[in-house]
């Protein structure tokens, strides 16, 4: 199984998200060998999940780790699960670097998503500064250690997304050869903590023109697309290019 995931971030409001979901359904892009999921705003999650149900899965961009109670402003993993979500992202770099989430926070989220029965997409990636200081492997190894050491999970419950921070939203996608090298490293680091197969996706400025250069590589299990997934033409072209 390979994966095409679309993170709509905060690009689309409720109405636009529902419109995009309705348009995607009409494209009839379902495929047995490729799992497609979109990650809409929480506001539109229920509607988008209902609209896409026979075609694509949905996932939360983030969820709080307490499951219920006096946590103003939070939405729990369990609440997403209850309305039909399949996935949730943990540790997206925008959560880490804009909202100050630490590896400890990310780990708490991973555990709460697994408890709730959501498949967890653990996002990792080095910053530009890490890369310039030859610290990319150090950063990835640390994020993997904190996410996976002693973690109890079954095969199929976790996917990792390698998203170099410098490649996100910049148009400066990671060279496929470099993504392969990093993903090889990531898989060997994960193997230190788990025998389970953990698919690893690439994310960062993926579009309809470059998607195949990642997707066609055996070691890359799919793509996590941001900006281009929030536009009907770009996202359908990405999917069509992969499926043809």
Active site residues: 92, 163
**Residue 132 CB contacts under 8 Å (≥ 6 apart), including other chains:** none
Report the site for ligand 13P in 193-232 (rule: CB under 6 A): 203-206, 224-228
Are 218 and 1 spatial neighbours (Cβ–Cβ below 8 Å)? no
Q: Which residues of 13-52 are buried (b: 16+ CB within 10 A; e: fewer)?
A: eeeebbebbeebbeeebeeeebbbbbbbbbebbbbbbebb
Site string for ligand 13P, 89-118 (x = CB under 6 A): ---x--------------------------
Give the residue with the Cβ less far from ligand 13P, 163 or 189: 163
Give the residue with the Cβ less far from ligand 13P, 4 or 79: 4
Tell me: does residue 4 bind ligand 13P (CB under 6 A): no
Q: Name the one residue in this structure whose structure tokens are 């348009």.
A: 23
Q: What is the DSSP string of 146-197?
A: HHHTT----TTSEEEEE--GGGTTSS-PPPHHHHHHHHHHHHHHHTTT-SS-
Q: How many residues bind ligand 13P (CB under 6 A)?
A: 14
DSSP designation for 18: H
Tell me: does residue 126 bind ligand 13P (CB under 6 A): no
Give the residue with the Cβ less far from ligand 13P, 82 or 170: 170
Stretch that binds ligand 13P, among 43-51, 127-135, 163-171, 189-197 (CB under 6 A): 163-171
Binding residues (CB under 6 A) for ligand 13P: these are 7, 92, 163, 168-169, 203-206, 224-228
């Amino acid at each position: 199984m390979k994966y095409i995931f679309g993170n709509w971030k905060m690009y689309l409001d409720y109405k636009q998200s529902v419109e995009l979901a309705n348009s995607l359904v009409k494209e009839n892009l379902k495929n047995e060998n490729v799992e497609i999921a979109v990650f809409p705003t929480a506001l539109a999650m229920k509607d988008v999940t209902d609209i896409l149900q026979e075609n694509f899965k949905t996932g939360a961009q983030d969820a709080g780790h307490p499951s219920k109670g006096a946590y103003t402003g939070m939405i729990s993993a369990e609440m997403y699960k209850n309305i039909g979500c399949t996935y949730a992202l943990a540790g997206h770099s925008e959560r880490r670097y804009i909202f100050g989430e630490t590896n400890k926070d990310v780990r708490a989220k991973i555990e709460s998503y697994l408890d709730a029965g959501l498949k967890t997409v653990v996002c990792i990636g080095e910053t530009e500064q890490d890369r310039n200081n030859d610290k990319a492997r150090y950063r990835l190894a640390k994020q993997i250690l904190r996410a996976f050491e002693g973690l109890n999970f079954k095969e199929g419950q976790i996917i990792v997304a390698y998203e170099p921070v410098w490649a996100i939203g910049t148009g400066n996608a990671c060279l496929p050869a470099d993504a392969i090298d990093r993903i090889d490293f990531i898989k060997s680091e994960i193997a230190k903590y788990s025998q389970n197969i953990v698919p690893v996706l690439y994310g960062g400025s993926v579009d309809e023109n470059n998607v195949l250069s990642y997707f066609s590589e055996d070691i890359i299990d799919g793509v996590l697309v941001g900006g281009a997934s929030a536009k009907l033409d770009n996202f359908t072209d990405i999917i069509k290019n992969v499926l043809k």
